[in-house]
Every structure is written in C-alpha cells, then in structure tokens.
Structure 1
C-alpha cells in the first residue's frame, strides 16, 4: 500500500495539514514527531523536520526506514532566484542540488559532490506534472513554476552570494532542506517532490508583510498538497 511522507521544516508549514488529517498515531524519533494517519484518503506520515540539511536528511531516512513511505513530499518556503517569480508564487521542483557543496580545490565544479555518480537529483516526473496541473487549478491567483531548487545551510540575503548561485546553478529558488531530502530519496530509490512558496523577489524589488505572506503561502501549499494526494 502506498504511504506518503510529508515533511515541513517548520511547524507552521505542516500544522494545518496535521489539523486536516485523521490522526492514528504519533511516534517520536530523533526529537521529531511523526504523525501517522489519513489525509485526502491516503495513508500519510506528516512531520516537522527542523531547519537545515542534516535535520531534513535524518527525517527522510527515518520516514523510509521506520514508516516505509513510498513517496515523499516536502513543503515550505524559499527565496526566488528569477525576477519573473513573484512573492507568493509556487515553485515545483524539476530537480534539486546543493549550492553550498564546494570541492573546487580538488577540481570539482561548484555544487558537485565528490565521488558520487550525480549531484543533480531529479524529482518524480509524474508527481511534477500532476502537481503543476493541480496548482494551476486550486491556486489560480498565483503563478506556478517548475524548475531547479537549490539548498544550503545558509540564509541567502547577500546579493553577491545570490549572484553566485544564480550564475552557477540555473535555479528557480533557494532554501535549506529540499536537496538533502532529494539526495536521501535518490539514494533509497524513493520518488520525491519539493513544493516551495516564494517569500521574496530575486532582486528584492518587492516586499510583503511576512505574516500576510505566511497566511497566503500556507493556504496555497495546503490546497496543493491535499488535492495532489487526491489525484495520485
């Protein structure tokens, strides 16, 4: 039977999904609460991983090993790396990379993980297509993009650092967990998808009250995740 792991880095990113689920059990492992139950008539495990790549990778491996999830969805927020992506829009991952992996001193390109066969982790194509269609239907007031998500254990606010990421990765947005989830899923041969609501413009030309952004972002991602589960 299919079981879907749903990861959010922060409690705000998963709390409404938890409220909507039929909760059967809570299991505490590695300081994380794994909520087992049903959402949109699917078996799910919903969990707050905590912020950063290590937390995200540990959380993903636990979902695979202990709860035997068959697919993983990661929902949260990210910063835009393209001017056409506005605050509140949704980016759906085509693939994911880590922008803070830097072994250039050994001759590797920026972002390439030494001695791995790949450093680019493709999302599940069927999930990508369905998620894009669903988002355009349930969230018609915003734009939906499909593109690369890059992650690092850094909050990117410096314009020079942002330019380095834009120039080297051709990414759509940057955040702190998605690529770690993607790499863990890839190594375990588990399909994954990253969903990100955009919190700021690439050129910092527009701003929104964060409380208002958060309310809209949660509404849009909950609409997407719950309807996506119905369709898969």
Structure 2
C-alpha cells in the first residue's frame, strides 16, 4: 500500500501543474504584457483562483459575467509566444484577447486612442543586409522580401506551421473577423479617459479605431524616421512588442484571436520627448475599458 501511494505521488509530481482536462470550463484568455496593463482587468474579476505555471501566474475567474483566464505574457515576442502556448496547453481556451499599450504609427491617431487591427505582422523578422557600396544595401537571402527596406533592415516573410500541420510563409496573422466585428459594434459606447491621475490631459478626446494593420517586434521604437517607414511599408497603425507573436500562436493552434492596443506614445513622432512615461497608465486603462466592454458583449 505504501509503495502504491509513493508511486501515485511520484506520478502527480511528474504531471506538473493542472492541464486543460482539470479545468474543463471554456474560457476567454485575456492577456497583457506587463503589470500596469493588467491591473484594471484583475481588479474587475470575481471568483479569482491563481495558479503558478513555471513562474507565470494564471488567474481564472469571471470578468463581466464571462469565464476567463487572465495572465501576463511578459514583455517581448518570445515571452508572449511562450506564455500564450502555456495557457492553451493548460486551459480550455475558446479565444484570445490581448489588452495593452503601443506606439502610434498612423499619423491620424494620437495618444490615448485604442486600436483594434484586422491583422498583425512581425515587421522585424528581417535580413540584416550587406552594405555593398556606401549607403546601398542589397539582400541575397532566399526568402521573399516584404516591402521596402530601412537601411540594412529588409523585412521578410515568416515560416510557420499552420493549423493543418503544413509549413507556410506568411506576412500577416489575422484577427478573427467575428471578434473584430464585435469590437466595431461596441466601440461607439466606450468610455475612455482623457486625463491621467496626475492631471495631465490629452490634447483631444481619445477614440476607438477598428481595422487596419498592427506590427510587433523585439524593439521599443522611439525614432521618427523608423516610424514613418513602418507606416509606409506596412500601413501599420500601431507597433508593439508582443501582439503578433500571440497572433502567430493563435493561428498555429486554430484559436480565434483579437488585439486591443491603446497608444501610450507615438513611437518617435511625439511633440518633444516620448510620452509613454506620462500616459502609459492612462493608455493601459483605456485599453482595459474597451476590453471589458468587449468581454461583456461576448455571446
């Protein structure tokens, strides 16, 4: 009997944290990159239960009447991909919703606006090309190049295994059309902050913009020339460091996905210094407000 109990305990230890079969409730995964982005969402949840998986805390509970699993992806592409896959492996995830801040690329947008793109690309998946004459760069890499280069940086397609197990080359990972349509429906009623807790106010009332392109990469961008290139080359409205990685994982697993990003700065187009240090919490709260309305409207 003692041997049997020992073996059972050993099996339980090897099995690790609870997997999806142990939490059969279908849940919306709500993801943010770092703590300020998730604070308002966590505060609005009820019935919270927290579990740590390899150092990342996943919180199950109810948000706006819907069962969710809330977690931080961590900053940057690898962290975002890794922890999104962990959530899909451990929980019964019906859809993925990202909420956070970003740099604004589209000149028609401003700090505080919330953007919900139709698709996301990994714009820094690239070739660092040789300079074959002063100021002239050329790529000889085998994969197709996407759009114009920025100096030595030549963006290229991404190789990914799709949901059917077939290797594909892709530039964009689509947000789920039905989820984007729902975001468009709830957008007009969204209540967004215009002033920070310290009393610093945006020059115009923020708005929700649905559609267009978003891009993600491993770098924080605060460069006007690079911002202009990202807009011209990808017609990007926003850029960040995680969402496209989450979109790629969602695509590979066949799980519906949508990303909400509120602008904390203009990625180098700010009038004067970068504004992220002033408005990151306001932007985080604006994204969370739209996501809460979105989750409330889910079927």
Same-fold call, TM > 0.5?
yes
**What CA RMSD, in Å, does the superposition of the two structures yield over aligned residues?**
2.0
> For residue 142 of structure 2, what is the aligned residue in structure 1?
106
Partner of 2:91: 67
Residue 231 of structure 1 and its aligned partner are, at CA, apart by 0.8
2:143·2:156 contact (CA, 8 Å) conserved in 1? no
Q: Does the 8 Å CA contact 2:100/2:288 hold for their aligned counterparts?
A: no
Check if 1:82 corresponds to 2:70. no
Residue 211 of structure 2 corresponds to residue 159 of structure 1: no
Tell me the alpha carbon deviations over residues 84-127 of structure 1, each in whole angstroms, 9 at most, x when there is no partner: 10110011021000011014522421241146242311101111
Alignment check: 8 A CA contact 2:76 2:218 kept: yes
Asked if the contact 1:97–1:111 (Cα under 8 Å) also holds between the matched residues in 2, the reply is: no
Q: TM-score, normalised by structure 2?
A: 0.72
Gaps (5+ residues) in structure 1? none
Q: 1:39 aligns with which of 63, 67, 84?
A: 63
CA–CA separation in structure 2 for the residues paired with 1:211 and 1:160: 21
Q: 1:174 aligns with which of 229, 239, 263?
A: 239
> Please, which of 117, 136, 143 is the counterpart of residue 207 of structure 2?
143
- The answer to whether the Cα contact below 8 Å between 1:72 and 1:193 also exists between their aligned partners in 2 is yes
Please state if 1:213 is matched with 2:279.
yes
Structure 2, unpaired ranges of 5+ = 1-24, 128-138, 146-154, 160-166, 193-204
| TM-superposed deviation, 1:168 | 1.9
After TM superposition, the structure 1 = structure 2 runs for residues 13-24 of structure 1, keeping only pairs within 5 Å, are: 13-24=37-48
Q: Point out 4+ residue stretches in structure 1 off by more than 6 angstroms.
A: none
Q: For residues 205 and 133 of structure 1, what CA distance do their matches in structure 2 show?
A: 32
- TM-score, with normalisation over the residues of structure 1? 0.92
Following superposition, the deviation at residue 19 of structure 1 comes to: 1.3
Q: How far apart in 1 are the matches of 2:258 and 2:99?
A: 9
Work out whether residues 52 and 177 of structure 1, in 8 Å CA contact, stay in contact via their aligned partners in 2. Answer: yes
